[in-house]
Homo-oligomer: A and B are copies of this chain.
């Protein structure tokens, strides 16, 4: 049974799910022994620990120039000591170019089979990847498992499914038979989905697999060789993905250089050189807006970006202000505000928030939010695990600076002790009140656990500001609370025009930060937060070109 046949049922389900957009997951998100095995967690932890201080020897990329690595755990603030084989951009692109001519000729079904098999292999390493993710990104254990393991694998599957579907949307052959009156003109036509060329996927430090696998698998599925360039601070999780992909490629007699890892250091970055290389035609990038926007203008390249954004919460009217405050407090604490979907700007009318029990004033809601944030932090069974640790020192500095913003500080950031990691780099949210006139303060992304409570004249101004911020600075998510159908539609419409998805009236165990594979398009591509969306059709169709050839039907010609 071919790899394709083995995995075809999952592929078919995934394609169906893309269009149904109801709940679907191929990889269970619960790290339960009943699902993954009794010893899966301990074995994964053990494997991670054994990797520390050593060369990562799994890659099938011979003759490195040197071995490098500078990852550090936000939980221990110690170096991981893992080193990876490093290559010059010329070696990487030369090897990719050589691999390209074979990979592009592997049939669509065989490509899908190999890629789906790689996910099955990676599934056996979810726990190891989870620990690697914790100790590079600072994510809590549960998020690290889910985001880097099953959720990433589902996003990868989604990209494979979308790619597979788009590659089938036009026939590979047809006879074009045109009646011309006394005779017909008959042409044999064929269409080839021609991959664009070498693909470079540039990762970020906070979601090293989730934000990279979509580009990797979308490019590979459509026949392009991939060079994976992780952030130097978070290599190990994606290195495991690449190693497993390479292993399956080799087992199937395909050049492992079809998917290469390209490591660099903060001091000697290679992303720009790779992206600018003439043979590189596709670039996927997650990271800062300055570099992302530069990449988008590179002539002759197809570029997919997820950059920064300013996410808003619009508070108009609610059924239960306490439930709302609790929900938002979780969103704010989750991974210390280091998600691209975390809310930053909270727009609250100066007249307060309407509820069935009467108006909750601006101040009263601010206090509720601060109390709920504190309550979660101080819950020893939840706080440390929800907050996790801070990936980058600069984020902590930004949090400290936020306390100097001109406005009432409702909550100061503070230290807390992670019971498992005494030396963890931590920062709890800072909550500051800002006047609606101070766009210079709230009109930019303040990455990290920074909450700005913006006092507006009314909900109309809240909506206008949220839309303006999204249009000017980008937005990936938006939360909105209203009990009015009219206000709801206004928010839905105005934020749609700013290409920003809105989560309405979330309470309980579902949060605006979460984007589910096969249902939520992540980033829309329609505002400055990024030009790509996974996984919409563009996300894969832009990676190949339909080229049609034609020739007269021979029998007709001879007659």
Contact = CB atoms under 8 A, between A and B. Distances in A.
Given A19-B170, A21-B191, A537-B169, A526 B176 contact: no
A547 B499 contact: yes
Given A21-B170, A299-B293, A546 B520 contact: no
7 contacts: A20-B171, A185-B509, A504-B551, A507-B557, A508-B552, A533-B546, A541-B541
Give this chain's copy count: 2
Interface of A: 19-23, 166, 169-171, 174-180, 185, 187, 189-192, 194, 196, 293, 296-297, 299-300, 492, 495-497, 499-510, 516, 519-521, 524-526, 528, 533, 536-538, 541-542, 545-552, 557
Given A23-B177, A23-B178, A185-B510, A549 B169 contact: no
Given A22-B175, A176-B519, A503-B551, 18 more contacts: A19-B171, A20-B171, A21-B170, A21-B189, A23-B177, A166-B537, A169-B537, A178-B516, A185-B509, A189-B519, A189-B520, A293-B299, A496-B549, A501-B548, A504-B550, A524-B546, A538-B541, A541-B541
B496 A176 contact: no
A549 B21 CA distance: 12
A501 B549 contact: yes
A4 to B, nearest CB: 23
A407 to B, nearest CB: 31
A176 B21 CA distance: 7
A545 B526 contact: yes
B501 A550 contact: yes
Nearest to A173: B21
Contacts of A545: 499, 524-526, 533
A194 B549 contact: no
Contacts of A538: 537-538, 541-542
A250 to B, nearest CB: 25
A187 B552 contact: no
A192 B519 CA distance: 13
A492 B171 contact: no
A551 B541 CA distance: 30
A20 B547 CA distance: 16
A293 B548 CA distance: 25
Contacts of A178: 23, 516
Nearest to A178: B23
B500 A547 contact: yes
Nearest to A505: B551
A502 B500 CA distance: 42
Given A23-B178, A500-B547, A507 B171 contact: no
Given A169-B19, A174-B21, A510-B187, A547 B496 contact: yes
B20 A174 contact: yes
Nearest to A509: B185
B176 A516 contact: yes
Contact of A546 (B299, B506, B521): B521
Given A19-B169, A194-B499, A552 B505 contact: yes
Contacts of A501: 547-550
Contacts of A510: 185, 187, 552
Contacts of A503: 549-551
Contacts of A166: 537
A549 B502 CA distance: 5
A545 B549 CA distance: 32
A165 to B, nearest CB: 10
A541 B537 contact: yes
A172 B176 CA distance: 35
In order of increasing CB-CB distance, the 10 nearest A-B pairs are: A526-B545, A504-B551, A23-B178, A499-B545, A502-B549, A496-B547, A194-B496, A21-B174, A501-B548, A524-B545
Contact of A548 (B194, B520, B537): B520
